[in-house]
Amino acid sequence: MAARWRIVIMVAALSAVIIVPSALLSPFNAATAGSMIGLGGLGIAFVALATDLRVSLITAVVFAGLALLAAVGASHVIVGILALVAVAIGVGVTARWGWNRSFVMLPITLAFIASESVVGPPVDSTLVFAAAVLAYGIFVALIVTVLRSRLLPPHKNPVYSVQHSWAGTIGYAVMLVVTASITATIALLNGWGHTGGWLIMTPFIVIQPAMRDGMVKSVNRAVGTIAGFAIAYLAAEVLGSGPVLTAVGYAFAVLAVIAMVKHWHYALYAMVLTPAIVILESIGRSVQQTSDYRLVATLLGVGIALATMAVAMPIYRYRNRTTSAGNQVS
């Protein structure tokens, strides 16, 4: 099979992962639960693409447990904050093997689960929701692992090859924990709803194990997000609300999947991801209002991330100087 068609099949499969749960549950007025299950499934799919079956299955189980805590956190703030701190620690540790970029969709999902209630018929309890997340996560892990082995080339590096030192890994995890604690406290205590999800998720995307990457990514994210807002506004003005606009949102979601699989420039990735999420998250709301709120939350999240990195920068420099001096002495 030609390489192009292998990519097409994989992208179609990943697109189905995020679309199917929402499509199945929307007729029962459970679109929020469906979109969260689909988004979590996409996160598990990215883990399966970057690692192996064992890691993706363990991740599916742990993620379902954190999804339960996050869903409870929608009405019990402390539980929600603890769930987000826990996922921050987990994502931070994955940087040891260079997996953090593939895991980032999971804290994004938990941010929205904790910010908005996902309970409602037929998903009538947090336990039912967590069970659905677990079952879907395991299913996605199995399917994507099989597709990856048949359609994509082997990993360039061994899955468990070390990419960052433990000192750098712990520093990265600490920054994620600090920003998750701050953003979750602001969003959940003030009841920001889905806007709070944007605030909480932004530092997870911006902060990177290598400090310079985080600074560059902040600029790229801002540029791509502003362009994405413009697209969302224009689409809403031309098409109005309704199924056509929703279809456009799904089309941008597919483009975002392609951008991630093909490793497009981050500004371009943010540009196609933003209208997808703004349009799909605005179902039942004004797209313009969703865009405005998300812009404010994103800029605040970027500011918190940059402030945290600025505080951490001298520590990183001191550690690097100490390490270099130690190497010279030895």
User: Alpha helix (H) ranges present in 26-115?
Assistant: 31-50, 53-73, 77-94, 100-103, 105-115
Q: What per-residue confidence (pLDDT) applies to 283?
A: 59
For 68, other C-beta atoms within 10 Å of its C-beta total 20
Distance CA 249, CA 187 (A): 25
Q: What per-residue confidence (pLDDT) applies to 319?
A: 62
Q: What per-residue confidence (pLDDT) applies to 137?
A: 98
**pLDDT by residue for the chain (330 residues), tens digit each?**
667 778 788 888 888 898 899 889 988 888 889 989 998 998 999 899 889 999 999 999 999 999 999 999 988 999 999 999 999 999 999 999 989 888 988 998 999 999 988 988 899 899 999 999 999 999 999 999 999 998 878 877 788 888 888 888 999 999 999 999 999 999 999 998 888 998 998 898 888 787 666 567 667 766 787 788 788 878 888 887 777 888 888 888 788 877 876 778 878 888 888 788 777 766 555 666 666 677 788 889 989 988 998 888 887 666 656 555 444 444
Distance CA 138, CA 45 (A): 10
Q: What per-residue confidence (pLDDT) applies to 74?
A: 87
Q: What per-residue confidence (pLDDT) applies to 287?
A: 61
Q: SS3 string of 143-160?
A: HHHHHHHHHCCCCCCCCC
Both tokens of residue 58? 């363990």
Tokens 């030609």: give the residue. Answer: 2
81, 89 Cβ separation under 8 angstroms = no
Distance CA 252, CA 258 (A): 10
Distance CA 84, CA 66 (A): 8
Q: What per-residue confidence (pLDDT) applies to 327?
A: 44
Distance CA 218, CA 215 (A): 5
| β-bridge partners, 123 | 120
Distance CA 84, CA 114 (A): 8
For 213, other C-beta atoms within 10 Å of its C-beta total 13
Both tokens of residue 261? 């699989």
DSSP secondary structure letters along 151-191: HSPPPSS-TT---S-HHHHHHHHHHHHHHHHHHHHHHHHTT
Q: What per-residue confidence (pLDDT) applies to 58?
A: 97
pTM: 0.84
Q: What per-residue confidence (pLDDT) applies to 256?
A: 80
